[in-house]
Every structure is written in C-alpha cells, then in structure tokens.
Amino acid sequence: MSGLQSLFFFVVAIGVLVAFHEFGHFWVARGDVSADDLPYAFNRQALWKRSAIVAAGPVFNLMLAVILFWLILVIGETGIKPIVGPVAPGSLAALAGFQEQDEILSINQKDTPTWALTLDELLGQALNGQRDIVINVRTLEGEPQLRVLALSDEDVRDPEQLHQHLGLKPWSPKIPPVLGRLLPGDAAESAGLKSGDLVLSVDGQSVDDWQKWVAYIQSKANIAVDTVVLRDDVQMHFSVTPRQEFLADGSSVGKIGAGVEVPTALIDSLKVDYSYPLLDAVPLAFEKTAFYALATVKMIGKMFVGQASMENLSGPISIAQYAGQSAQMGFSAFLRFLALVSISLGVLNLLPVPVLDGGHLLFYSIEAVKGSPLSESTQVYFQKLGMAFLIGLMVVAMVMDVGRLLN
C-alpha cells in the first residue's frame, strides 16, 4: 500500500478515536453555561463531577473498543486455519512437541480458529506474564493432544524475541508450478511465458512444486534459464533471464514477474469463516477489551522498570503503516486495528502524568485528601514536567520509527 493510502487511513483512524474520546468528555459535561451561570462552569463543579468528566474520555475509548470487537465478532472474518508448518529445531515449539500439520484448536481454553487469532492470543498471554501456555491441537492423524509452550523471562519481557524463539509458522502445502498473473513487460512475459503454463523443468531439473521453482529462479539473477512448460498438452521450451533485484540487506535475488495460480479447492481447504451470535459476542467483546487493556498496562509497566525494550514503542510512522496494512487486509482487520489503538489511547490517557486525563485525576485525588485544590503555580509546574516527559516519549518513539524504516 502506498504512503498516501497509509496516511489517509491513519488520519481516518486518529480522527475517529480522538473524536470519540472528546465526545466522552462532552457527553458527561454537556449542558448550557451562559455568562450569568458561572456556578455551572467546569471549575465550579463538584469534585466527583469534574472527575467523571475527565475520566469520560478514556472510558469512551475503552467503550469504543468493546463496540468494535463486538462488530468484528458478529460480522465475522475469513482467515487461514492455524495449521503448523515445519517446526524449527530447538525452538519453543519443538521443545513443546509440535509436529508439522498439527492444527491449533485453542490456547489456554480460548478458541483460536485462525492464525491471526492464534498469534494474538500467544503474544497476549506472554504480555500477561503467562509462562506455561497450554495449547490444544489436533494431529495429522486426527488425535487431540496437548502441547505446552514454556516461556523464559526474556520471552515474556520481549515480544520480538518471543516471535523469534517461537518456531511456529503456517503450513504451506505443495502448490503446482502453474503460472498465474504475469507482470507486463517483465522477464516471464518477455520470454513468451503465459498464464496457465505448467512448469515441468528448469535447466534439465524436474519441477513439481512452486516454491522449488521460485527458489531456483531467485538463485539465477541475470542468468538465462532453460524452462520447459506444458501448454495445451504441448511441451514448449523458453529461455528466461531473471532480472536482478536488490533487497534491503544488500543481497539480491532473481525475479521474473510471475505469480502462482493457486487451485481454488486448495484455498478453500485452508481458509475458515467464523462469527458469533449477537448476544454471545457481547461478553467476548468485553473480555477482549479487558485482556488487551491489562496487557497494555503491564507492557507500559515493564518498559518503565526496564523489563521490556523501548523498541515496543510505536510512533506516528509505524501507526500509519499499521493503519494502511490493516485496511489492505480488510474491513475486520481495520476495525481490530482501531480497537487496539483505542485501547492504547484510553490506557495512556489514564496514566498519572500531568497534562493527561490521568494527571488531572491525580490532582483531584490530592484535592479530595487535603480538602482543597493544589495551588495554580504547583499545577503549572507539574504540567510542565508532564509536557517535558511526553515530548521526550514522542522523540523516543520517532527515533524508533526512523530506525525501523532504516532497517
């Protein structure tokens, strides 16, 4: 997705979330106040009402997340079945006894019908400090079995490290090497290949799998490859020269601009549709919101005490990229992105940092204890500290964003 499209969906997301947040403040504080009605002004309200008005913004963000999760559950999603591919030797999955083509059914008794939900649940359990994650699977032979992932302290602290150590990836079935869409003017089309051609061999080596064909092409940048295909029951020879394309790490691969034609029956066998009835989705939506809110609080706490890397921070660049990527994945994926960011916005605003809603609530708590508000000069002093803290946090997040772009 282009940068402009990512920017557009970022603006849409922020617009929706900030508007809902401010609407929460307005909804609780609503009421006409004229110049003659100073007793009704905000700073003249009772302490409980001022506290309610301030807390309403973050609470509305959390309520929005509940609504969005409910919509996702009711609308339903189409995803890939969580069938395990080759398990990396020595990985957490290997130590837990995972076998290729195990199908993951649930994690700690929570159903995970798709890969996306499986990864979300695994990372969420880790963020909540769960070290032994019990996973129900169905083996290739159809037998139900339990696998237990034993996480280390480092795995729990660092989601990126957990992802690297996990050793789980989706199962990729053998796909026939049939050409699908060809990029106009690229090497495949220029050599005379057509959509629907079945690749039989390259340089005298038989080919029966698309990945094998791709791997061979990638290793032959700027080298002519003798390719035999079957077209309309006739074998035909072509000389294809893959163009060289450089990757971010400086290495290069050969590419010919050809996609694969995946059989419809194969796609249908790997995808799954799921949704929940209207009422059944309500408690699940609250449960998901509470789960991610608690995970966010724990992650923030771990970063403050040095138990989690600051690389977990995301700035506007990363958020814009996530917005574009989720929108490209579909409506439900974009709603999930909105729900997660709304939870983050709600939780962050409740932090006891002056200038945030949580900072105001902290001032009101002190007022409740001492019987009078803090002096204006004291409040201004701490607000300046809070502003300096937030600016510093934003600078760190931006540095992390730029680092991700450069890497």
Query: For residues 326 and 308, what is the distance between their CA atoms, to the nearest angstrom?
Result: 25
Query: In this structure, are residues 158 and 308 in contact, taking their beta carbons and an 8 Å threshold?
Result: yes
* Residue 89: count of CB within 10 angstroms of its CB: 9
Query: In this structure, are residues 60 and 21 in contact, taking their beta carbons and an 8 Å threshold?
Result: yes
* Residue 352: count of CB within 10 angstroms of its CB: 14
**Secondary structure (H, E, C), the chain:** CCHHHHHHHHHHHHHHHHHHHHHHHHHHHCCCCCCCCHHHCHHHCCHHHHHHHHHHHHHHHHHHHHHHHHHHHHHCEEEECCEECCCCCCCHHHHCCCCCCCEEEEECCEECCCHHHHHHHHHHHHHCCCCEEEEEEECCCCCEEEEEEECCHHHHHCHHHHHHHHCCCECCCCCCCEEEEECCCCHHHHHCCCCCCEEEEECCEECCCHHHHHHHHHCCCCCCEEEEEEECCEEEEEEECCEEEECCCCCEEEECCEEECCCHHHHHHHEEEECCCHHHHHHHHHHHHHHHHHHHHHHHHHHHCCCCCHHHCCCHHHHHHHHHHHHHHCHHHHHHHHHHHHHHHHHHHCCCCCCCHHHHHHHHHHHHHHCCCCCHHHHHHHHHHHHHHHHHHHHHHHHHHHHHHHC
Query: What is the distance, to the nearest Å, from the Cα of residue 108 to the centroid of all Cα atoms in its chain?
Result: 21
- Catalogue the active-site residues: 22
Q: Which tokens belong to 100? A: 């290729």
Query: For residues 361 and 368, what is the distance between their CA atoms, to the nearest angstrom?
Result: 10
Query: In this structure, are residues 122 and 129 in contact, taking their beta carbons and an 8 Å threshold?
Result: no
Bridge partners (DSSP) listed for residue 83:
103
